[in-house]
Amino acid sequence: MSDRVVDMGGGFWNIRGTWRIKGLINAGTQSSLVRLESGRFVLLDSYTLHGAIEREVLERTDGGAAIEAVLNLHPFHTLHVERVAARFPGARHYGTARHHRLLPDLDWQPERTETEAFAALFADDFDFSVPAGVDFIARDERLHFASVLAFHRRSRVLHVDDTLNYLPFPLGRRLDFHPTLPQVLERRPGAAAAFRGWAEGLIERCAEVDHVCTAHAGLAKRGSLGSVADQIRAALKRAEATLAKHEAKHGAG
């Protein structure tokens, strides 16, 4: 499938990109262009733009001059960061602690995207959420569970990398937590309860979400999977055995 832009409505455009596992299977990736209430724009996550997609983004953003910031939300999504920073040098660039560590020469803003200080900067347009009870940056770099979830209020879109996956037809048309959850739960008493509490808060927040954009498995527009909150409630129920096993080993806290 070729790269494309999907208009989600409400000033939110999801860019479906290409990411091939070992150069073969296209697992996909994403970025999103979002119009702020101010009329300016941000990019959620970095993806190198080409051809018609680049032209569309530049046309909407006054040649890129109206892109205020690039918000890198997944600590392990780093492949395109330098190229996007070079393409939009006038934007403010934000990243996680891992982005700062791996790419120290970029002109980063001081607020890490996983912090409350960062969330406050964009509170007029977004709510952000960081999973609790899990390693945000896992020591095993193959474990990509955690990311910063971004809720855009005007469009009622949730942009999420890896933490949630959308499994399209014929795999079930459902949302699920990333399968690495058992490996990333913090090895301490109360970690499972912390994750459960965070997920319950996510369910409550998703009562006002119509569409979900996930990085690698696809996007779920309104009508394709029913209630987003109900989907996440079902995903949490499926994860309960994992959480109970963790509590039995490490303690409920």
List, for residues 13-49, the tens digit of each pLDDT value: 999 866 545 554 545 568 999 999 999 999 999 999 9
Going edge to edge, which strands form the sheet with 41-44? 4-7, 12-17, 29-35, 41-44, 67-71, 92-94
- At residue 157 the predicted structure's pLDDT band, cuts being 50, 70 and 90, is very high
**Is pLDDT at 216 greater than 80 in this prediction?**
no
**Is pLDDT at 74 greater than 50 in this prediction?**
yes
- Sign of the CA dihedral 96, 192, 200, 170? positive
| 166 touches 218 (CB < 8 A) | yes
- At residue 170 the predicted structure's pLDDT band, cuts being 50, 70 and 90, is low
pLDDT at residue number 234? 94
**Is pLDDT at 55 greater than 80 in this prediction?**
yes
- What is the average per-residue pLDDT within 61-88? 96
- Bridge partners (DSSP) listed for residue 214: 160
pLDDT at residue number 75? 93
Angstrom distance (rounded) from CA 98 to CA 94: 11
Residue bearing the bigger pLDDT, 177 or 172: 177
**Model confidence, pTM:** 0.93
- What is the average per-residue pLDDT within 176-202? 96
The residue among 122, 123, 144 whose CA lies nearest residue 134 is 144
Residue bearing the bigger pLDDT, 172 or 212: 212
**Is pLDDT at 142 greater than 90 in this prediction?**
no
pLDDT at residue number 26? 47
Domain 4-250 architecture: 4-Layer Sandwich (3.60)
pLDDT at residue number 73? 98
Least confident of 31-35, 73-77, 114-118: 73-77
| 137 touches 98 (CB < 8 A) | yes
Provide, rounded to the nearest whole percent, the portion of the chain with pLDDT above 70: 89
- What is the average per-residue pLDDT within 115-121? 99
**Is pLDDT at 125 greater than 60 in this prediction?**
yes
pLDDT at residue number 96? 98
Segment holding 164, helix H or strand E: strand 164-167
Provide, rounded to the nearest whole percent, the portion of the chain with pLDDT above 90: 75
